[in-house]
Amino acid sequence: MRSFDTVRRVVVKIGTNVLSRGDEMDTDYIDDIGRQVHGLRSRGYEVVLVTSGAIGMGARELGLAEKVTNVQMRQACAAIGQPLLMHAYKQAFQAHGVTVAQVLLTSEVLNNRRSYLNLRNAIESLLSLAVVPIVNENDSVSTAEIGSSFGDNDRLSALVASKLDAELLIMLTDIEGLYDRDPRREDGARLISEVETITPEIERSAAGAGSAHATGGMRTKLKAARLAAAAGCRTVLVHGREQSVLERVITGETIGTVFGAQARMKNRLRWLRNSEPQGRIVVDDGALQAIRRRNSLLVSGIRGVEGVFPSGAVVMVNDAAKVVTNLDSAQLQAVAGKKSGEVRQILGVEYSGIVARPEDTVFLDA
Ligand code: GLU
């Protein structure tokens, strides 16, 4: 069983092929994505979508059956298709009372620190407003010819995941995951459920090339997973048409291929898990359940404080989890069980009722 207990922010990438049925954009599928993303958010996850499909939708609108390769034509198709794509998403999410926002990117935006920070602020604001940002490349202005293209949305999704500090990238595609051989050409190919590190050998075994209107292939997906991994983000590559796929991935079902992450997140959690606790915070059941669902530990749920420790110390929560506490033991004693507003009155305006955030929390059974 996989565990995504430490995940808070998820980037979901949806490929052109998975969005289409025959020659048409499958709006029923987009509706179902609305339902599924709403489901993830109800479980407490922040979700950013990266979607392809603008060029494909534009091409269909113009009645073009063949893959569009001409640069100007791709730009035109993207400009035509992007609003159609957003319209489909808007309707799908509206059914669940969720507002969506369009974010169009060029690689220049991410490469320039000022514009990147600006973008990051905009996305953080959208997320704090409970809006789902829907990202695509700004294909009508960014082209490889002027060096501002991401190349494909696989890469774009990995960059978005890493720049936004997402802990999980879910790539919905039209293949079940990574196979040891190309399943479309060879019999007996086996699905690889878990890849800890993407080695050159694994990259070699992956078949390349996208099809129809999409640009990615398995190779670009592996590259994307490697990019995400370097930023501490795990990737799950999975067939987007699996029933309730997002929920099944997030609850740890063994579908698709999960790619491990390097360093950052893992190291921090390992450090936290291995640290000797300097005290103990006793919380009620509600608070324990809340932090299991990756919410912050709040003072309101505290029933007792054991030991003397400074702020920043690692302490136990009951016997279930370890956290890095924002407040020292005396402060915790003073505000245990109080509401957040009262905390400011007792400790001062710079204090909120947050004792530990999800990224500073690890469950010992996780
Ligand atoms: N940004 C392109 C589109 O929306 C898709 C690129 C890709 O498939 O990787 O049509």
Alpha-carbon distance values, 76 to 62, 80, 255, 279, 296 (Å): 10, 6, 37, 62, 46
Q: How far is the CA of 151 from the centre of ligand 1 (A)?
A: 9
| Ligand 1 and 136: CB distance under 6 A | yes
The average pLDDT across 86-99 equals 97
DSSP of 242-271:
STTHHHHHHTT---SEEE---SHHHHHHHH
Residue 146's pLDDT is 56
Burial readout 295-331 (b: 16 or more C-beta within 10 A, e: otherwise):
bbbbbbbbeebeeebeeebbbbbeeebbbbbbbbbeb
How many other C-beta atoms lie within 10 A of the C-beta of residue 245?
A: 23
Closest ligand 1 atom, residue 214 Cα: 8
Closest ligand 1 atom, residue 82 Cα: 4
Instruction: Give the end of a domain, one of 215, 242, 270.
Output: 270
**Co-location of 213 and 353 in the same domain:** no
Closest ligand 1 atom, residue 152 Cα: 9
Task: Identify residue 267 by its one-letter amino acid code.
Answer: N
| Ligand 1 and 20: CB distance under 6 A | no
For residue 224, is pLDDT > 50?
yes
The average pLDDT across 293-316 equals 93
**Co-location of 288 and 166 in the same domain:** no
Helix (H, G, I), strand (E, B) or coil at 306: strand
For residue 145, is pLDDT > 70?
no
Region of 263 please: left (phi>0), alpha (psi -120 to 50) or beta: left
Is position 3 within any domain? no
**Co-location of 206 and 243 in the same domain:** yes
Is position 4 within any domain? no
The average pLDDT across 228-242 equals 93
**Co-location of 124 and 266 in the same domain:** yes
**Co-location of 202 and 285 in the same domain:** no
**Co-location of 335 and 198 in the same domain:** no
Which tens digit of pLDDT belongs to each residue from 165-198? 899 999 999 989 998 877 777 788 889 999 998 8
Indicate which residue's Cα is closest to atom 5 of ligand 1. Answer: 52
For residue 210, the enclosing domain spans 9-270
Indicate which residue's Cα is closest to atom 8 of ligand 1. Answer: 214
For residue 235, is pLDDT > 80?
yes
Which tens digit of pLDDT belongs to each residue from 245-261? 999 999 999 999 999 99
Which tens digit of pLDDT belongs to each residue from 5-35? 889 999 999 998 899 888 788 999 999 999 9
Give the dihedral sign, CA 240/93/150/22. Answer: positive
Q: How far is the CA of 14 from the centre of ligand 1 (A)?
A: 10
| Ligand 1 and 139: CB distance under 6 A | yes
For residue 137, is pLDDT > 90?
yes
| Ligand 1 and 137: CB distance under 6 A | yes
Instruction: Give the end of a domain, one of 252, 270, 288.
Output: 270
Residue 123's pLDDT is 94
For residue 87, is pLDDT > 50?
yes
| Ligand 1 and 217: CB distance under 6 A | no
**pLDDT averaged over the chain?**
88
The average pLDDT across 300-325 equals 94
Residue 100's pLDDT is 98
Site of tokens 């997402």: 166
Is position 215 within any domain? yes
Q: What percent of the chain is modeled with pLDDT above 90?
A: 58
The average pLDDT across 143-170 equals 84
| Ligand 1 and 215: CB distance under 6 A | yes
| CATH number for 357 | 2.30.130.10
| Ligand 1 and 152: CB distance under 6 A | yes
The average pLDDT across 68-86 equals 94
Closest ligand 1 atom, residue 153 Cα: 9
Q: Rounded CA gap, 350 and 366, in Å? A: 32
Kindly give, in sequence order, each residue whose CB lies less than 8 Å from that of residue 43, ignoring residues fewer than 6 positions away: 247, 250, 293
| Ligand 1 and 220: CB distance under 6 A | no
Closest ligand 1 atom, residue 154 Cα: 9
Is position 1 within any domain? no
| CB of 319 closer than 8 Å to CB of 330 | no
| Ligand 1 and 153: CB distance under 6 A | yes
**Co-location of 117 and 167 in the same domain:** yes
Instruction: Give the end of a domain, one of 270, 293, 324.
Output: 270
Closest ligand 1 atom, residue 151 Cα: 9
Q: Rounded CA gap, 186 and 163, in Å? A: 37
Indicate which residue's Cα is closest to atom 2 of ligand 1. Answer: 52
Q: What Rg do the C-alpha atoms of the chain give, in angstroms?
A: 22
For residue 49, is pLDDT > 90?
yes
| Ligand 1 and 214: CB distance under 6 A | yes
Q: Rounded CA gap, 310 and 308, in Å? A: 7
Number of domains in the chain: 2
Residue 351's pLDDT is 83
